[in-house]
Chains A and B, each alone.
Chain A
Amino acid sequence: MIIRNFGVRHGRQVLSAPHSAPSCLRLFSTQTTTTTTTATPVPGNQEAVEQLAALSATDAAREARLAGRRQQQEIAAIPRNFRKFIKYQKETEKLGSEVERRYLPDEIIRNPPHDASLEDLLAAQCHMGHHVSRWNPANSRYIYGERSDIHIISLEQTAAHLRRAARVVEEVAYHGGLILFVGNRKGQMPIVTRMAELAGACHLFQKWTPGCITNKDVLLQGGQLKIVDERDRELEGFEEHLRDCRPVTPDLVVCLNPLENYALLRECALATVPTVGVIDTDADPSWVTYQIPANDDSLRSVALIAGVLGRAGERGQQRRLADAEKGVVKWQTPKDVFSFIGKVNAKIRREAEEKQENMQKETGGLKPADLMTEDEVIAEMFGQGAVPSKY
């Protein structure tokens, strides 16, 4: 044992308990010393044994009394010892060193940053493009140079484009848009699901079924939908509409590997759905609306970029809900939902009128308000079901 470390290693024990000499010795040695006592039979005659037994009977009674007293003392000492223990614990808890873990690979997924600095991007290998022979010349504006036969993507370009894309995601989330995160390479599932969870968005980590946008009426028939209000509470009374309405399309698609999702991006372009994509040096930047030039092969790079976008979506959702609490709603009810609400209102009004006519016929002169409760009068005055709603 190194003596200078003794205080650090055993400081707590030394402070908390005054050791006797043998126990201090025990701290220095690594071998255990156990002494066991065994009962040795006393050789002697019968009388001696009986005398001993009589003696031991009186002793036993005294022992029992003593034991009882000792037990009481022990019980009485418990709170005092406990207070002492807490006191020593408080005194010694600041001793020793704190072990800090500086790098955890999944930290970027569990707690992604709100913005990526150039250092973050470099550490996440965002700058590594593909082999120079695989480049797409359309990406030349993002390329800083070449090294070790690969293209190096400019970190400034990546950072600037990532911020622009994050802003897009945030505003789409703020305006109540439906966002879809797509990443269907091996290992991207935890990234995509976590970021979709953060941004309150949908995710796709398997193959995109071609036609889910352009042929959605056939492929997505019978998919579950719900109508929610501005505070994301589900609204009732739309069962009829939900049965008849068309499947929805996303308002923004974030694609982490555009190369494998040509069909998806093409459909988005046809349906004028804006797209955000991670563009490596071998990808065609014209496939997506908002490019993020970065390495799309490294999971760390993709996790960082998706993390920043997920956080942006989270900010947008938080802002939307906070504004809704204040009564500010920046989005409009979709046309089909709006027309459905109008139809329902007209129907209710018509029914009410019919009812009124019938009652007039029956009562002959009495106004319907005379027959209604106060609540019913208020409902009649302000209309029913004119609550703003959305998917």
Chain B
Amino acid sequence: MANGASIQLLELGNFCSSTRRLKERSPDLSRPRPRPRRQPGERFRAHPATLTMVSRSVSPGGALLRASRMFSMPAPLPPPAAEAAQATFKSHSDTATSAYPTHQVITTLSHARKEGDWGLKRPLPLRSTTKSSTPMLRIKGIDTIEQITDYASGADHGLTLLKFQELGLPISTPSSFSSSRHRTDAATRSVFEDDIDRTAIAAKDRAKLVDQRWRFSGPWLAGMSPGDFKKYLAERVRPRRAAFRMFLKAKIARDLNETARLKALDNAETEYDKVTVDSILEDDVTEYLRNVRNQNAVLYQLVGEFLDLAPLKQPTELTTEQMLHPPQHTYSTHDTNNPYAEHGPPKTHPSAGLSYIRTGAYMDNHPLYGPQKEHKPVEARVLRPRSQQSYSSAKLGVAGFVTETSEGDNAHNQKSGKSPLRHFDPDLKNGAKVYVQPETASVNSDGKLRIVLKDSVDAEAELVARELIGDGEGIFGQQRKEVEVVSQSTIRKSYSTKLSQGAQDYGLNSEN
């Protein structure tokens, strides 16, 4: 379970943005016109009758609508690819939480919720929306052909977001390893660092600043299936042959000019004959292409620049197949430092909207003990203990995400004692739980979250965390206080004495 898209809790209930003067317009009774087709990616289409009325500036009502919360709802994301494929198999569960949320989660005010008012087309049924203690919904359709509002609970991802935010973890760039068993170096970078989070880049600088980007208009070739690749070639690449030749002409002209400039510099001349793009012949381009075909790196660079392909890098981690049959040839690409080159760029912003903090280097403060060295450890659910036979790590559920204990010589893997990470106890009510210390979190290109845990949990930090929730013995050996059962008459008595004291405090007796 992981989050890939941003979920924010939006209140659609009571929205008013700006105050503008009302300008009335008489209804335009225009003739019926052919309606333009909706372009891919276009979300709002003006009605033809409106098109005739609206000039360049938008009407006051239109401006209000554009700023409204309904219009700020993002378009739903495509469902996770793995789930779509799994849907055909029996192992797929209908009730499983998807790997990332596809719809925006909305909520409403408590007063409005009692009326069924969620800011939508019609009030939602009270029976299914008022009883939940987590009022979060995802709206699949504001109105459908059946004249109903299509909605479902959004509490799964909404609560996951809240739980993750409670961890206080920053999102870092993805590591070379896909599994959370491998702890990477502590030096992780936040996805919000300026040198890897640039989106507003001029077209001419795109190729130069490839290492600072995460959004590319072209695909990541290593992640494409052969079918997708063929389709991409046929539909998107082939129609652009002429444009590519023009691109090459510009490149050849640039190279020739550069050579000429250097030669002139060597001869101590200031002037040299500049070559224009128009003077490059088609034959020159063909000849250049023939030369370049044998130089993989150069060709990839040219094609990558032209199609704005996401950068590629040889994976550090070898798959089982690669270990058994090592690849004969490795095609060298140019070296890239882009953190998304190895496992592909993310679909959304690499933080996925889960966390906006840039670093985990802050101190937790305890009300009594003061600043703490370690962050507060969290309780994790043991989903599957460590298996002796397959040498697989234990699976843990941390804040709603599945993670694994790290490999190697660490506290999780010690054989001494009866750790719930090694032994399954069927008698334990609600399952086994252990305290863990999350270290880093990153989102991969599939939208799944990878949480890496620290090798061990600081015993003192665990004790403090336990004490805060009143669990077990405290630091000073205090037992957890049991809740006393107090009778109603005792409560009434205590209130009556308090009231009489209060009257005295207000100076209503003679002594003051």
Contacts and interface: CB of A to CB of B under 8 A. Distances in A.
A150 B143 contact: yes
Contact of B141 (A81, A84, A149, A152): A149
B473 to A, nearest CB: 23
A158 to B, nearest CB: 8
Q: How large is the interface on B (under 10, 10 to 19, 20 to 34, 35 or more residues)?
A: 35 or more
A103 B20 contact: no
Contacts of A19: 505
A133 B144 CA distance: 9
Contacts of A125: 119-121
Contacts of A178: none
A300 B49 CA distance: 28
Interface stretch (B61-69, B178-186, B332-340, B398-406): B61-69
A300 B117 CA distance: 8
A69 to B, nearest CB: 11
B506 A144 contact: no
B121 A295 contact: yes
B118 to A, nearest CB: 10
A147 B43 contact: yes
B507 A17 contact: yes
Contacts of A187: 123
A161 B494 CA distance: 63
Interface in B1-50: 13-20, 22-30, 32, 43-50
B111 A104 contact: yes
A244 B13 CA distance: 54
A155 interface: yes
A362 to B, nearest CB: 76
Given A103-B111, A140-B47, A134 B145 contact: yes
B387 to A, nearest CB: 48
Given A18-B512, A119-B64, A297 B507 contact: no
A372 to B, nearest CB: 65
Contacts of A37: none
Contacts of B16: 119-120, 122-123
A77 B507 CA distance: 11
A128 interface: yes
Contacts of B120: 125, 128, 298
A24 to B, nearest CB: 11
Contacts of B122: 295, 297-298
B117 A147 contact: no
Given A17-B512, A103-B109, A128-B121, A118 B22 contact: yes
B91 interface: no
Given A123-B15, A147-B70, A148-B142, A156 B44 contact: no
Majority DSSP secondary structure for residues of B touching A: loop
A143 B50 contact: yes
Contact of B22 (A142, A147, A156, A298): A156
B73 A148 contact: yes
B143 A103 contact: no
A128 B15 CA distance: 14
B147 A134 contact: yes
A215 to B, nearest CB: 32
A131 interface: yes
Nearest to A161: B27
B71 interface: yes
Contacts of A77: 510
Contacts of A23: 505
Nearest to B122: A297
Contacts of B27: 141-142, 157, 160
A145 interface: yes
Interface in A156-190: 156-157, 159-160, 187
A154 interface: yes
A299 interface: yes
A154 B50 contact: yes
Contacts of B45: 145-146
Interface string B327-358: 00000000000000000000000000000000
Contact of B142 (A13, A128, A159): A128
B507 A16 contact: yes
A122 B49 contact: no
Nearest to A296: B122
B47 A156 contact: no
A131 B119 CA distance: 16
Contact of A130 (B14, B32, B43, B147): B147
A105 interface: yes
Nearest to B26: A160
B142 A141 contact: no
A74 interface: yes
Interface string A329-346: 000000000000000000
B142 A74 contact: no
A18 to B, nearest CB: 7
Contacts of B23: 156
Nearest to B20: A118
Interface in B72-110: 73, 109
Contact of A81 (B15, B50, B507): B507
Contact of B61 (A88, A103, A140, A144): A144
Contacts of A129: 143
A137 B121 CA distance: 20
A227 to B, nearest CB: 42
**Central interface residue in A70, A145, A160, A187, by most chain B CB within 10 Å:** A145
Nearest to A84: B507
Interface in A241-299: 295, 297-299
B111 A105 contact: yes
Interface string B305-325: 000000000000000000000
B66 to A, nearest CB: 10
B159 to A, nearest CB: 25
Interface in B131-155: 141-145, 147
A85 interface: yes
B221 interface: no
A97 interface: no
A320 interface: no
Contact of B24 (A104, A146, A156): A156
A207 B71 CA distance: 37
Interface in A29-84: 32, 34, 70, 73-74, 77, 81-82, 84
B486 interface: no
Contacts of B44: 145-147
Given A81-B512, A103-B109, A144-B46, A156 B25 contact: yes
Contact of B14 (A34, A103, A118, A147): A103
Interface string B236-264: 00000000000000000000000000000
A122 B65 contact: yes
Given A118-B20, A134-B145, A85 B15 contact: no
Interface in A95-125: 102-105, 117-120, 122-123, 125
A127 interface: yes
B112 interface: yes
Contacts of B24: 156, 159-160
A213 B74 CA distance: 50
Contacts of B73: 148
B320 to A, nearest CB: 45
Contacts of B15: 122-123
Given A85-B508, A141-B28, 12 more contacts: A18-B512, A70-B510, A81-B509, A102-B14, A122-B64, A123-B15, A128-B121, A131-B145, A131-B147, A146-B47, A149-B141, A298-B120
9 A-B pairs with the lowest CB-CB distances in the bound complex, closest first? A155-B61, A297-B122, A77-B510, A119-B16, A74-B510, A145-B46, A128-B121, A131-B143, A141-B27
30 contacts: A16-B505, A16-B506, A16-B507, A17-B507, A70-B510, A81-B510, A85-B506, A85-B508, A117-B19, A117-B22, A119-B19, A120-B16, A123-B14, A123-B15, A128-B70, A128-B121, A130-B121, A130-B147, A134-B147, A140-B47, A141-B28, A143-B50, A144-B50, A145-B50, A150-B142, A150-B143, A154-B59, A297-B121, A297-B122, A298-B117
